[in-house]
């Protein structure tokens, strides 16, 4: 294994600091309101130095999304390794992690429509490979959960998949948290219930 030089370690540490800052700002403000200037200011480097690491705002956002994708894949693998868990247990666990991450202010939020950013993500092999791997894993759990009778079999698996993905940017969590009357655990439980149990009264 090649040992990194001190200069390389500093370079990587700075990139980690940049990406961490971008993730937080994307979670707090969203892509449109985040600026390269404030990222550089918060990291404590010149804007020109930041551009040596990431050439554009789109590249910054893409790096943050790639890191989140890697974390999601790690959590998905941890669920897959649970021998005692059913498909619906695994699906609920990864969804709960997504909600908790969003409430903690660590889930980057991106605009629904932004061609430059979308193109940057589509062109990023690491992100697209991760997205396909995560989608395949969740899709496998969804199909199995439907076969087990734990999910509505009348729903197309892709509709369930997109519903789960949408929890990463669910505004309901922010609205409930802003009210200040409920704990994060309560909020997560309620959103989990509406996602997996629906809104209809139970007998």
- Residue 120 maps to which CATH number? 1.10.357
Residue whose tokens read 């370690």: 9
Domain-located, residue 44:
no
Q: What is the pLDDT of residue 32?
A: 86
CA atoms within 13 A on the CB side of 153: 5
Q: What is the pLDDT of residue 107?
A: 87
Domain-located, residue 36:
no
Domain-located, residue 22:
no
In tens digits, the chain (203 residues) has pLDDT values of 567 777 777 778 888 899 999 999 998 888 888 999 999 999 999 999 999 899 999 899 988 989 899 999 999 999 999 999 999 999 999 999 999 999 998 888 766 666 678 888 888 888 899 999 999 999 999 999 999 999 999 999 999 999 999 998 899 999 999 999 999 999 999 999 999 999 988 66
By residue range, what is the domain housing residue 77?
57-196
Domain-located, residue 26:
no
Buried b (16+ CB within 10 A) or exposed e, 152-167: eeeeebeebbeebeeb
Q: What is the pLDDT of residue 74?
A: 96
Q: What is the pLDDT of residue 188?
A: 97
Are 121 and 127 in contact by the 8 Å Cβ rule? The answer is: yes
Query: Closest by alpha carbon to 169, among 103, 115, 124?
Result: 103
Domain-located, residue 173:
yes
Domain-located, residue 9:
no
Give the integer Cα–Cα distance in Å for 95 and 134.
12
- Whole-model pTM? 0.86
Domain-located, residue 157:
yes
Domain-located, residue 179:
yes
Question: How many domains in the chain?
Answer: 1
């Amino acid at each position: 294994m090649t040992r990194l030089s001190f200069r390389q370690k500093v370079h990587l540490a700075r990139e980690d600091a940049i990406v961490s800052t971008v993730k937080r700002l994307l979670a707090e403000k969203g892509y449109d309101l985040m600026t390269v200037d404030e990222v550089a200011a918060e990291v404590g480097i010149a804007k020109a130095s930041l551009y040596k690491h990431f050439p554009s705002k789109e590249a910054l956002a893409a790096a943050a999304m790639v890191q989140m994708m890697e974390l999601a894949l790690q959590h998905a693998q941890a669920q897959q390794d649970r021998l005692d868990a059913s498909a619906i247990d695994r699906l609920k666990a990864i969804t709960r992690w997504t909600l908790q991450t969003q409430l903690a202010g660590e889930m980057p939020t991106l605009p629904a429509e932004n061609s430059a950013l979308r193109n940057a993500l589509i062109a990023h092999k690491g992100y697209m490979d991760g997205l396909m791997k995560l989608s395949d894993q969740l899709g496998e759990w969804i199909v199995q959960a439907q076969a087990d009778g734990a999910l509505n079999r009348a729903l197309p698996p892709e509709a369930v998949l997109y519903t789960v993905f949408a929890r990463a940017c669910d505004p309901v969590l922010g609205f409930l948290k802003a009210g200040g009357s409920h704990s994060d655990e309560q909020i997560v439980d309620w959103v989990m219930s509406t996602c997996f149990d629906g809104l209809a009264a139970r007998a």
